Amino acid sequence: MATNRPELARRRLGGTDVSVTAVGLGCAPIAGLFTPVDPAVAAATVAAAWDGGIRHFDTAPHYGAGRSEERLGSALAGRPREEFTLSTKMGRVLVDHDGPWDLWAEPNGKASAFDFSFEGAYEAHRGSLDRLGLDRVDVGLVHDADDHLDEAAAGTYAALAELRSEGRIGAIGIGMNSTGAAAELLSRGDFDVALVAGRYTLLDQSALDGLYPLCRSRGVSVIAAGVFNSGILADPKPGATFNYTAADAALVEKALAIAAVCARHDVPLRAAALQFPLAHPAVASILVGARTPAEVDDALAMFAHPIPEALWHDLKRTGLLPEEAPTP
């Protein structure tokens, strides 16, 4: 079990009373992302996160067409509600679907469809509460609005702002994968949090120049997801994935070079990849996806692994990290 480690610090999101632990659990994998997950293993994965001190759990209707929310809600049932923070997303609703799925290995007769309307956001919110078995979620995020900024600003954001003003959601934000579109949407509203995947990692610091300074200036807290860039920073080798596609040779070479520097300091690459994003003052927490208890325990062990300052110095000295990137 994930025990005998330092307690995970909690940080508030924006100016709200909602807080998250320094490490959160991303719950897409327990919905059968790419390969099926036994429901008992999914429940055990959430339990391992809880035992390790994680108190932030992130999900979405899109993940397994509701299956992630169902499994997460079941796994959290009976846990003290005031102790954990739950984030889910709006911008998609569930529709009947009998065909194959691209990402999810456990079809359930449903699929998610984009709907950034005001009414669609409320429909998504009600559906999430039903599947989670809860009377509230703590954080609501506009989901994957990269190509739908106008609709999302007029519809989903307006609904989230209303839910927040009524006290039915504690913090609102965006959940996106691109920096430019994320910055544009953040500039159109009063947001508390930005969950951004894969754009501030040991391989990709594209959030460093524009998005993160904007978040700092607007008081928006960042949750950094995708810290392994979908796999290459966990196990760099030919054939590894970078943001869910095959990594090109140059990226694999750079990841291997970073791993070599880590090895010289007796530090696993996974430890450096997990700890690097949280050093930026805009980042409140990192989000780690896991499908088994062993993956949770490994992530927590890597997050607590000692890293000498000299490692970060060597990464910058060799040009593998920009000089201006904050480091632990």
- Contact, 160 vs 140, CB < 8 A? yes
Q: Which of 58, 297, 298, 314 is catalytic?
A: 58
Active-site residue, 130 included: no
Tokens 């904050």 locate to: 326
Q: Which of 89, 144, 212, 298 is catalytic?
A: 89
What is the C-alpha to C-alpha distance for residues 73 and 81, in angstroms, rounded to an integer?
11
Active-site residue, 63 included: yes
DSSP bridge partners of 286: 23, 224
Q: Which of 38, 51, 63, 316 is catalytic?
A: 63
Minimal CA–CA distance to 174: which of 134, 129, 218? 218
Instruction: Show the CA angle centred on residue 66, arms to residues 64 and 71, nearest 5°.
Output: 90
Active-site residue, 58 included: yes
CA distances from 24 to 8, 96, 238, 259, 296 (A): 10, 31, 29, 24, 10
R_g (Cα) of the chain, nearest Å: 19
Helix locations, 24-141, DSSP H: 39-51, 67-76, 118-132
Output the CA torsion 144→218→25→97 (10° steps): -20
Catalytic amino acids?
Answer: 58, 63, 89
